[in-house]
Amino acid sequence: MQKTEYNNWLKIIAAKLTKFIRWYIPWMIIGLWLLAAILGMVLSLNPNAIDLTNILVPPGTNALFGYDDLGRPVLDRLLVGAHTSFLVAIGVISVSVFTGAILGGSAGFIGGWVDLLLMRIIDIFLAFPGILLAIALAGIMGPGIDNLVIALSIVGWVGYARLTRVQVLSLREREHVIAAHALGCSQSRILWLHLLPLTLTPLIVEATFGIAHIVIAEASLSFLGLGVQPPQASWGAMIKDGAGYMLVAPHLVIIPGLAMSLVVFAVNLLGDALRDRLDVRLNVIK
């Protein structure tokens, strides 16, 4: 009897720990990201103030994260960079999910030639390597945050469109949809009320994973010089600027790189946890 109780305690502790790692830690990191993004906007920081006396100063007591090659404070730039990456991620995700859901949902619901046409367009988009297409688009439209969002959204919506379409295809044969037809509900009402809300769960999970992808894509484009323009700060641009001094002042690359990895890691964990949480079937077993 004693032994089983002991086992139970272990199990309970293990379960709590797993939940902490899988659920609370990602939220904490994302909370920090959000806080940094807000601070980067609200605080009067000097991310672009050049102080030549402090060039390549490592992290220390008077500057938490040190200074970069032009003597700009890394902490300030990191906060402003968080703001940039957050804006880009949220912007791209909301535009892509919204467009993808509407277009994919309609394709699946209407079917016929609309579906056929849309699917071929999606196939064409998917045939290009996504990041390459974004580079090309950013190159054509010129650098800048707004163009970055547009370029990444153009690449991003196809995944959500496909996901929504497949969901709708299986859902539209469901009996509650047939019942709505039988009651004489209009087509748009059926799509908005009976189909799209039920596709939300996989979309939310997919969008969470998408955030991680976008953060990296933004950094890559900025690293290539197609995203945020100097002197404006972004994590990708910081890595790019710091790359030349990797051996002399590794903190220029490590600090923004670490920030980005943490965000991507947290978002991916959260996506996993969300998928389990929103899955009705798993909840039943619990």
Partner 1 sequence: MNAPLLQITDLTTQLGNPKQPSQVVDKINLEIYPGETFALLGESGCGKSMTALSIMRLLPLSGRIIEGCVQFSDVGDLLDLPEKEMRRIRGGQMAMIFQEPQTSLNPVMTVGRQIAEAVELHDVQRKTNSTKRVIELLDAVGIPDPKRRAKEYPHQLSGGMKQRIMIAMALAGKPKLLIADEPTTALDVTIQAQVLQLLKDLQQDTGMAVLLITHDLGVVAETADRLAVMYAGQIVETATSERFFSKPGHPYGRKLLKALPDASKRKQRLAVIPGMVPSLKQKFSNCRFVKRCDVAIAECSSEIPPWVFGSNNQQVRCHIWQSDTNKPLEQSILRNQDSGVLNDSSQDLHESQDFNQDNKDNQVNQGSKTLDQPSNNILLEARDLCVHFPIHKGILQRIIGHVRAVDGLSLNLYPGRTLALVGESGCGKTTAGKAILQLLRPTAGSVRFAGQELTSLSTNKLRPLRSMLQIIFQDPFASMNPRMLVGDIVAEGLIAQGLNNRSTRRAKVLKLLDQVGIASDAIDRYPHEFSGGQRQRICIARALAVEPSLIVCDEPTSALDVSVQAQIINLLKDLQINLDISYLFITHNISVVAYLADEVAVMYLGRIVEQGEVHEILEHPKHPYTKALLSAVPTIDDTGKQRIQLEGDLPSPADPPSGCHFHPRCPEATAACSLKYPDTVILSPTHSVRCEYAKF
DSSP code string of 159-222: HHHHHHHHHHHHHTTSHHHHHHHHHT--HHHIIIIIIHHHHHHHHHHHHHHHHHHHHHHHHHHH
Q: Are 74 and 252 in contact (CB under 8 A)?
A: yes
Q: Kindly state whether residue 180 participates in binding partner 1, applying the rule CB under 8 A.
A: yes
How many residues touch partner 1 under the rule CB under 8 A: the total is 19
* Residue selected from 1, 52, 127, 183 as contacting partner 1 according to rule CB under 8 A: 183
Binding of partner 1 at residue 176 (CB under 8 A)? yes
Stretch that binds partner 1, among 58-66, 119-127, 152-160, 194-202 (CB under 8 A): 194-202
Question: Which of 69, 71, 65 lies closest to 36 in space, CA to CA?
Answer: 65
Choose the stretch contacting partner 1; rule: CB under 8 A; options: 52-60, 185-193, 206-214, 262-270.
185-193
DSSP-assigned beta bridge partners for residue 67: 73
Interface pick for partner 1 out of 162, 172, 194, 240 (rule CB under 8 A): 194
3-state secondary structure of 279: coil
* Closest CB to partner 1 among residues 142, 197: 197
Q: Which of 239, 86, 219, 218 is nearest to 155 (CA)?
A: 218
Side-chain half-sphere CA neighbours of 109 within 13 A = 23
Residue 87 or 198 with smaller CB distance to partner 1: 198
With CB under 8 A as the contact rule, which of the stretches 37-45, 186-194, 215-223, 229-237 interacts with partner 1?
A: 186-194
Which is nearer to partner 1, 4 or 44 (by Cβ)? 4
H/E run at residue 240: helix 235-243
Element (DSSP H or E) covering residue 268? helix 251-278
Tokens read off for 173: 């044969």
Q: Which stretch binds partner 1 (CB under 8 A): 74-82, 109-117, 125-133, 191-199?
A: 191-199
Options 22-30, 124-132, 193-201, 208-216: segment touching partner 1 (CB under 8 A): 193-201
Query: Judged by CB, which is closer to partner 1: 108, or 156?
Result: 108
Site for partner 1 in 6-35 (CB under 8 A): 8
Residue 78: C-alpha distances to residues 36, 191, 215 (Å): 8, 43, 14
Report if residue 112 touches partner 1, rule: CB under 8 A. no
Residues that bind partner 1 (CB under 8 A): 8, 174-176, 178-186, 189, 193-194, 197-198, 285
